[in-house]
Each structure stands twice: as C-alpha cells, then as structure tokens.
Structure 1
Amino acid sequence: MTHLARLEREALCDTLVTTGPGAPTLCSPWTTADLAAHLVVRERRPDLAPGIWVPALASRLEDGMAEYAAKPWDELVDLVRSGPPAWSPTQNSRVDNAVNLVEFFIHHEDVLRGDEAVGPRRELTERESRALWKTLSRMGKLFFRRSPVGVVLRTPGRDSLQVKEATDLGTVVVEGLPSELLLAAYGRRRVAALDVTGGEAAVAGLWDAPLGLG
C-alpha cells in the first residue's frame, strides 16, 4: 500500500498542474509557483534552509526560491513530484510520513483554498482523516501551547482532545473534521469549517494567539 505522504504529494502535484503557476495560495503573497519552489528548496537545498531563521541569510534563500520559481512550470512540478534526492532520509516511507504528510497536506490546502473561501474542497479517506487526527493527538499540545485559554478539540466518532488546560480565561471547544482542526492549528482558521463554543473573549484570545510550530 502506498504510504500517505507519497499519495498527498501526488495529489498536490496533480492540483498544481491544474491550477498553473500564477494561482493564489493561502501563503500570500506566494503564488503556486512560489509555493512549489519552497517545497523543492526544502527537500533539495538544505544549504539554503538557514535563511528561514537567520535574517542575514534570508536574501540567499529568496534568490534560490526565485530561481526555482522561474523554471518552466512542468519542470518545477516534476521536481516536486519526483521527491527528495537519494541521500535524503525521507526516502524511507516512515520518515517521509512523519516529516512530509502534514507539510504536503497543509500546502495542498493552501492551493485548494487559495480563493479564501471556507470549507473542504475534497473528501478525504478514513485512512487520511485518521492520520491527521493522530497528528493532532500527538502534537496538539505543541500547536496550541501559546493559547491563552484552554482548548478542547472534537471530531465526530472520536474521543475529545484536551490540547491546552483551562486557564482563568476559560476553555474553548473547537469541533470539526480532522482536516479542518489541523488547518486551524496551523493558522488557517479563516478557511476552516469549524463549530466553536466559548466565551467571546476566550474565543478571540485563542484566534489571536500565534498557533502552530513557529
């Protein structure tokens, strides 16, 4: 059975072929070409990665991304589709799933929901939804660690997750499909279909917080 990160990579590349290089993404001002270039640099150019964290090296990273973004579209998409070079640990399917499944899922949604409309654009399989919920179970406390309020995640057919303990400001309950909850956890709440329960100040505090890994 093909592992999920590989399937999500293929699905993203199929979407990129359809949208073309100039389509908007949720990572504005990035276009689809910029996002594809980011994915290629992430996998193939570790020498440029320090530019993400070191301001003095940011221009080198930007130049590298611009070089890839300027490639013919079919060539750029093929670089994303073909995956990492032979020396990359993500050639191993378990490592690939751990490192790339969520990365490709989030960026696929960045393309699918680039028009900023709310709600799913595709129906995920139970296998995919289960994997995303597992990610939330494992990393939810990290994603929501900077929330000033308690946070409980709920999705149909599964136990609730307390990803942040209650604070003096109270607790917010966020309910939705695993895909929508993960988007919210990565700062894409504006396009996620969610039911939110909690006091007005508590909800505002949650959504104003810098969620995610950054």
Structure 2
Amino acid sequence: MSNHALAERHRLAELLAAAGPDAPTLCAGWSTRDLAAHLVVRERRPDAAAGIRVGALAGHTHRVQSGYAERPYEELLRLFRSGPPMLSPFALPGADEAANTVEYFVHAEDVRRAGEEWTPQPVPPGRADALWRRLPLLARMEAGRRSPVRLELSRPNGQSLTVGPAGAPMVRITGEPGELVLFVYGRGERTELAVDGPPDAVTALRHVLPLP
C-alpha cells in the first residue's frame, strides 16, 4: 500500500534543506525556518498545535513555534524527517497518511513555488488520485464556505465536484488534482488552472480566492 504522506514528508524535507532557513514560502510572513518550526510543533506539541485552528489558543501556539524557530535549522529538519514521536496523535495507525498527505503536499509546493520562476511538476498518478479523494471535504471546508459563487472543480479526465452557495453563478475551475488542492487552500495565484464563468462571477471569486 502506498504511503503518500511519507513520500511527501521526504520531498518537503528535501525542499526545505535545499532552500535553506531564510527562503520565502507561500505561507504569508513565514520563511522556511518558520515553516519547519510549524511542522515540528504540529506533530510534537499537541498542546500548542490546537492553536493552529483555534483562535483563542493562537498566542500559545505562536510562542511555542517561535521558540522552536530559534533552534538550529538542521535540528528542525532532523525532527521533521524522523516522523511523529510515539505519543503523538499522528503516530496512531493510519493517522499520518490521513492527516498529512495533503498537508505536506501543500507545504512542499509552498516552498517550491515561492520563487519567481517555477513550473508545475507531475504528481504520481496514485498520489493525484489520493489528493482528488480528499478534495471534496477540503473544498467544502476551505473554499465552499468563502466563495460567493458556485464552484465546479474539474479534472482533465472529466471527474468533477461542486461546492459553494446553491443558486449562485457557476465558475468552473479545471486542472490536475494537485493544482485544485492548492487553489482551495488559497494558493491559486501560483497554479496552472483554467477558469471559466461569467466575468462578474470570476471577479467576485478573485476577491476572496486568488486565481491564476
């Protein structure tokens, strides 16, 4: 059975190592050092990781992450490469694959596409299918709640899904699963996607979710 999360963990670690600690990322305000600290805190400090999603706890998370960011960069990469410790929720059977395949894919692209010159890279077919299977839930949570228009997210092979307010104008976004995942996570400006819909609807969408 493929372990897409492990493959993406290795890819992300290699990209972080090659970029060095002070390179930009697509995570607003974060350098590669900040991103590496985030990754380590997320799976090694569950007391602080909650603040990633819960605003009331964000201050604690920021303090813990800032402390980790002061550590040597090589140590952060070593901790990340080694995977979750035994007592981490991500060490439970299947948890790493379920929770981190998309997380690490997106953050790997946050590093890889942060420079001015980048090109999409092919995603292995099995991993592309894994990203597509996770896309419906992610699209509803990340894009559907924010979008002022109905979104049809389509693969070149004809598979599609729709999210967003019923009865609103429709905008079709077409691309490979990895590109669609990046779009719903707000990285659409650095993707290769085709956008089709009424001009007013596309403009309204662009105000809340970046487009190519």
User: Do both share a fold (TM > 0.5)?
Assistant: yes
In the TM superposition, 1:153-172 aligns within 5 A as 153-164=153-164, 166-168=166-168, 170-172=169-171
Give 1:141 deviation, angstroms.
2.7
Give 1:159 deviation, angstroms.
1.7
Bigger shift: 132-141 or 191-200? 132-141
Change (3 A) 1:138 1:29: closer
Change (3 A) 1:135 1:50: closer
Partner of 1:175 in structure 2? 174
> How far apart in 2 are the matches of 1:177 and 1:160?
11
Partner of 1:69 in structure 2? 69
Give 1:180 deviation, angstroms.
0.7
The aligned length equals 208
* Length-normalised TM-score, structure 1: 0.88
Unmatched runs of 5 consecutive residues or more in structure 1:
none
Change (3 A) 1:188 1:117: farther
Unmatched runs of 5 consecutive residues or more in structure 2:
none
Change (3 A) 1:136 1:21: same
Partner of 1:3 in structure 2? 3
> How far apart in 2 are the matches of 1:23 and 1:15?
11
* Length-normalised TM-score, structure 2: 0.89
Query: Equivalent residue of 1:21, what SS?
Result: coil
What amino acid maps onto 1:81 in structure 2? R
> How far apart in 1 are the matches of 2:119 and 2:148?
26
Q: Cα deviation per residue 1:81-116 (whole Å; 9 max; x = unaligned)?
A: 111110123224522111111111111111111125
Whether the 8 Å CA contact 1:8–1:104 is kept in 2: the answer is yes
For the aligned residue pairs, the C-alpha RMSD in angstroms reads 2.1
In the TM superposition, 1:1-214 aligns within 5 A as 1-52=1-52, 53-55=54-56, 57-115=57-115, 119-120=119-120, 122-143=121-142, 144-164=144-164, 166-168=166-168, 170-209=169-208
Bigger shift: 110-119 or 72-81? 110-119
Whether the 8 Å CA contact 1:117–1:191 is kept in 2: the answer is no
